[in-house]
Amino acid sequence: MRPLRQIAMAGSLFLAGLPMVSAQTFSSDAGQFRLETVATGLEHPWSLAFLPDGAMLVTERAGRLRILRDGVLDPDAIPGVPELVVSGQGGLLDVLLHPDFEKNRTLFLSYAHRGDEGMTTRVAKAKFDQDRLEDVEVIFEARPRSSKSRHFAGRMEFDSDGYLYVAVGDRGEMDRAQDTSDDAGGVHRITVNGEPAPGNPGLDNPRVNDTFFTWGNRNIQGMTIHPDTGAIWTHEHGPRGGDEINILRAGTNYGWPEITYGIDYSGIPITLDTEKEGMAQPLHYWDPSIAPSGMAFYTGPGRPEWQGDLFVGALKLQKLVRLSISDGVVREEEDLLTDLGARIRDVRMGPDGALWLLTDDSEGKVYRLLPGQ
């Protein structure tokens, strides 16, 4: 993790070109903070990535990749996005920069794709050059396909060894999450070229697909790397209740749908079990469901009380949740932005030391959260 002084210096450069923005003041247990509206008019924005020059890339689920430069959203979409399908919860999903982006200009996109056999989750890599995508190459495709238009997952993250983690949902067919010959319902760890990462549990087990890292995951909508330990943390949607936060460990079965703290949308239990031998317990769960989406650890200089806290957006309950965690236990949970009235889709820690948020709406916004008035 970078020292706070370096983060602050980077932030001053990052913010130099931002125009005046509207702001609202909210309260927290640590004092007041300011929520600035940086951009508006995005159609269901899904993910945000910060470019080295201070610009930002934003995906719209409708299939467009947009650029926000000097606080101004370019009206034209970036050309070169791979062929995709917009259906139900599917569309253009995550955008993630290669760890050596400044040198190789490579980024990764996750998205829904339709073929003769149905729909699935894909990941493509591309070169971002002169505000367009070049050399687009599909490096991962979840198999088999399905007619369902739910639970594509799509969140991605790099670990400290440079391997890419890709979440694939159960596609609304829950039993697939326990079938390790089926790519649905788990997290896949691959190289930047799409090969199974060394050490994957399936490499030594013919019953487990080679790219699997974990399974028994319903629909992961948040993924981030811990700034101190380097572990990959996720959260996933439960049905009615049972949203979970998990720390990914190789070869771990997270239980869905054999164990869950939620029930079916009909009100009927999915299972009577909340734990079973050989299946991991969540670090934390919500009941009722908040529909979590996006997550980031706070590492900014502006609010020392928040250092190391985990921030999670909520779609259903329309809020930002702050979790203080130590020794694997949530010690404090605070709801923020409950009066904003917005579905929070993504949460990112910015190079300026601020938290950045996307709202999931047909007129979605980019927000920047800072301490103070």
pLDDT per position as a tens digit, 181-221: 999 999 999 999 999 999 999 999 999 999 999 999 999 99
* Strand partners for 22: 37
Asked if the model's pLDDT at residue 20 lies above 70, the reply is no
Amino acid 136 reads: V
Q: What is the mean pLDDT of residues 279-286?
A: 98
| Cα Rg of the chain (Å, integer) | 19
Rounded CA gap, 188 and 197, in Å? 9
pLDDT at position 228 is 96
21: pLDDT confidence band, cut at 50, 70 and 90?
Answer: low
Sheet harboring 118-129: ordered strands across? 92-97, 106-115, 118-129, 132-141
* CATH of region 4-371: 2.120.10.30
pLDDT, averaged across the chain: 94
Rounded CA gap, 282 and 25, in Å? 34
* Strand partners for 1: none
Sign of the dihedral defined by the CA atoms of residues 127, 125, 194, 51, in that order = positive
> How much is the pTM?
0.94
The answer to whether 237 is a known catalytic residue is no
pLDDT at position 279 is 98
Sign of the dihedral defined by the CA atoms of residues 48, 49, 55, 60, in that order = negative
372: pLDDT confidence band, cut at 50, 70 and 90?
Answer: confident
Asked if the model's pLDDT at residue 253 lies above 70, the reply is yes
Asked if the model's pLDDT at residue 308 lies above 60, the reply is yes
Residue 357 burial by Cβ neighbours in a 10 Å radius (0-12, 13-18, 19+): buried
From the candidates 44, 98, 113, 151, give the one annotated as an active-site residue: 151
Rounded CA gap, 219 and 137, in Å? 25
Rounded CA gap, 115 and 221, in Å? 24
Percentage of the chain modeled with pLDDT above 90? 92
Asked if the model's pLDDT at residue 18 lies above 90, the reply is no
Sign of the dihedral defined by the CA atoms of residues 125, 348, 16, 12, in that order = negative
Token pair belonging to 351: 């190079």
Token pair belonging to 261: 């703290």
CB neighbours (10 Å) of residue 81?
Answer: 19
Asked if the model's pLDDT at residue 249 lies above 50, the reply is yes
Q: Which ranges constitute the DSSP H helices of 57-146?
A: 101-104
Three-class DSSP category at 10: helix
Sign of the dihedral defined by the CA atoms of residues 67, 70, 71, 73, in that order = negative
Token pair belonging to 256: 């869905």
Asked if the model's pLDDT at residue 11 lies above 60, the reply is no
Per residue, the 3-state secondary structure of 193-219, as one string, reads CCCECCCCHHHHCCCCCCCEEEECCCC
Asked if the model's pLDDT at residue 4 lies above 50, the reply is no
Three-class DSSP category at 9: helix
